[in-house]
Amino acid sequence: MEIKSVSTTNTRAIFESQQRTALQLKKSGTSERIARLQKLKQTIIKYVERTVKALHDDYKKPIEESNEMDYVIGEIDFITAYLESWMKPQTVDTPEAINALAGTTGTSKIISEPKGVCLFITPWNYPFLLTFRPLISCLAAGNTIMIKPSELTPHSSAVIKQIVEDAFPEDEVAVIEGGAEVASKLLALPFNHIFYTGGSRVGKIVMRAAADHLASVTLELGGKNPAILDDSADFGDAAGKIAWGKFFNCGQTCIAPDYVLVSENRKEEFIATMKGTMEAMYGNEGPGTDNPSYARLVNANHYHRVKNLLEESVSSGGKIIAGGKTDDSENYISPTLLENVTSDHAIMKEEIFGPVLPVMTYSSLNDAIDYVNKGDRPLAVYVFTKDKVTSDLIINNTTAGGSVVNHVIMHYFSPFLPFGGVGNSGIGKGHGHFGFLDFSNQRPVLEL
């Protein structure tokens, strides 16, 4: 499926129209913003079946993993319920020293105003969820938005464009399809805020472009997310949750556990448990290319990158315990468990973003903590333990975008928790009130 390129003239014209509309939306009230969100919700409901088909057409994503719009609709309902209170000016104290200096009694408040025209550059791994969930926050904050969806999932990008065009005029929300050259054209425009989801390499390009216009940014990146198990952990429970989080969407999830750290004296027990869990999920031979419930890697480039990481690790002493089957014609890699991996292996130097799970060992929890801290700050740290002292020790001595104790990924689904990275795994926080704040300027007003 071919995506047509967009001229610089067209993108600038849309941008300028959105600048004018942004000035009007700045004055919009709660009811007007909720009406826009409700229009989006009804449009999304109308297109749900097309989103599922598009995901399958792009990389054979199974229907069991294609309910992205459920979470989008849930976010609309959540924000709609709270938006009125979020939009109210927040009254704060005025110091007596200011009153004395001014010779009068002042009042202080904080108002949340829209940032203006925002650019979204969104990813391919969950194209609908990771486009529309932040879009909801951005709309709630009163902004206009231009969206550049990923060219790697063209069927999904086409449906995203259809939904947006059905729900909004172009001067409020517009979708601009295309590849890197289109992204470059858009990044040259003086947006007020840029929201990017993807890898850290492109994230740095986005941040440099934003600097030219001093635009604020939200970067949702990724990283090597460890799952740390202590000796008290329930291995059967942990293995099931780690396998689900790791192999869902063929491992193409930014908050999937990227590797496991387990103590040396329980390594073999964990490996046996994990292998048994994988066999129960996929059979002794793995899901196979005929299994409609297992996705593919998104394209040949990504497939060969992950395959090369696996092969390099094996050639350097790594050992495949389960899985390891590949099919070049299908971009297929079966769920794979890997041991005898060291920090020198390429697979431990970059985010895998595929269905390969290395298992590493530690001699003490402090060693595990030190290993995590030697790398870039991850998007998530997962801890499996029955001992709260252990979970507190690990969480208090590491830094991550988020953490879950005795599960993986689940923090993403709570609208009450902020979601985002730290350092190399991202900048800014989203979801619920945190997303509203991220797309708003907190403007102080002192009246004397």
Q: Which of 50, 78, 77 has the alpha carbon at shortest distance from 66?
A: 50
**3-state SS class at 176:** coil
As a whole number of angstroms, the distance between CA 256 and CA 376 comes to 16
pLDDT in tens, 273-287: 999 999 999 998 999
Please tell me the predicted confidence (pLDDT) of residue 9.
64
Over range 184-195, report the average pLDDT.
Answer: 97
Which CATH homologous superfamily contains domain 226-413?
Aldehyde Dehydrogenase; Chain A, domain 2 (3.40.309.10)
> What is the residue-wise DSSP string for 301-350?
HHHHHHHHHHHHHHHTT-EEEE---EEGGGTEE--EEEES--TTSGGGTS
pLDDT of 32 higher than 60: yes
Per the annotation, the verdict on 250 as an active-site residue is no
Please tell me the predicted confidence (pLDDT) of residue 218.
98
- Exactly one of 220, 250, 339, 351 is catalytic; which is it? 220
Q: Which amino acid is at 152?
A: L
Please tell me the predicted confidence (pLDDT) of residue 4.
52
Identify whether the C-beta of residue 222 lies closer than 8 Å to the C-beta of residue 187: no
Q: Beta strands 107-114 and 426-427: pairing type?
A: unpaired
- Exactly one of 68, 138, 254, 339 is catalytic; which is it? 254
List, in sequence order, every residue forming a beta bridge with 193; answer none if it has no partner.
118, 216
CATH 3.40.605.10 in the chain is located at 8-221+421-447
Q: What is the distance of C-alpha 164 from the center of its chain? A: 21
Please tell me the predicted confidence (pLDDT) of residue 114.
98
Contacts of 208 (CB under 8 A, 6+ apart): none
End-to-end C-alpha distance for the chain, whole angstroms: 61
Over range 37-42, report the average pLDDT.
Answer: 98
As a whole number of angstroms, the distance between CA 280 and CA 263 comes to 24
Please tell me the predicted confidence (pLDDT) of residue 3.
53
pLDDT of 2 higher than 60: no
pLDDT band at 56 (very low <50, low <70, confident <90, very high): very high
pLDDT of 183 higher than 90: yes
pLDDT of 69 higher than 60: yes
pLDDT of 133 higher than 80: yes
Q: Which amino acid is at 102?
A: A
CATH 3.40.309.10 in the chain is located at 226-413
Question: Is 8-221+421-447 a domain of CATH 3.40.605.10?
Answer: yes
Identify whether the C-beta of residue 217 lies closer than 8 Å to the C-beta of residue 193: yes
Q: Angle at Cα 286 formed by Cα 284 and Cα 287, nearest 5°?
A: 130
Strands, DSSP E only, in 171-324?
173-175, 193-197, 216-220, 226-229, 259-263, 319-322
Contacts of 253 (CB under 8 A, 6+ apart): 125, 126, 245, 409
Residue carrying structure tokens 């890898």: 199
Q: Which amino acid is at 181?
A: E
Q: Which of 108, 328, 114, 365 has the alpha carbon at shortest distance from 233?
A: 365
Residues 217, 223, 227, 228, Cα dihedral to 10°: -90
Look over the chain and give the mean of its residue pLDDT values, rounded to a whole number. 96
pLDDT of 1 higher than 90: no
Residue carrying structure tokens 């208090």: 396
Per the annotation, the verdict on 254 as an active-site residue is yes
Q: Which amino acid is at 188?
A: A
pLDDT in tens, 89-111: 999 999 999 999 999 999 999 99
Please tell me the predicted confidence (pLDDT) of residue 6.
53
Q: Beta strands 259-263 and 319-322: pairing type?
A: unpaired
As a whole number of angstroms, the distance between CA 77 and CA 433 comes to 13
Over range 346-350, report the average pLDDT.
Answer: 96
Identify whether the C-beta of residue 128 lies closer than 8 Å to the C-beta of residue 160: yes
Q: Which of 295, 271, 285 has the alpha carbon at shortest distance from 324?
A: 285
pLDDT of 191 higher than 60: yes
CB count within 10 Å of CB 386 equals 12
Identify whether the C-beta of residue 229 lies closer than 8 Å to the C-beta of residue 384: yes
pLDDT band at 241 (very low <50, low <70, confident <90, very high): very high
Residues 313, 62, 150, 147, Cα dihedral to 10°: -140
Residue carrying structure tokens 């009153």: 99
pTM of the model: 0.94
Please tell me the predicted confidence (pLDDT) of residue 115.
98
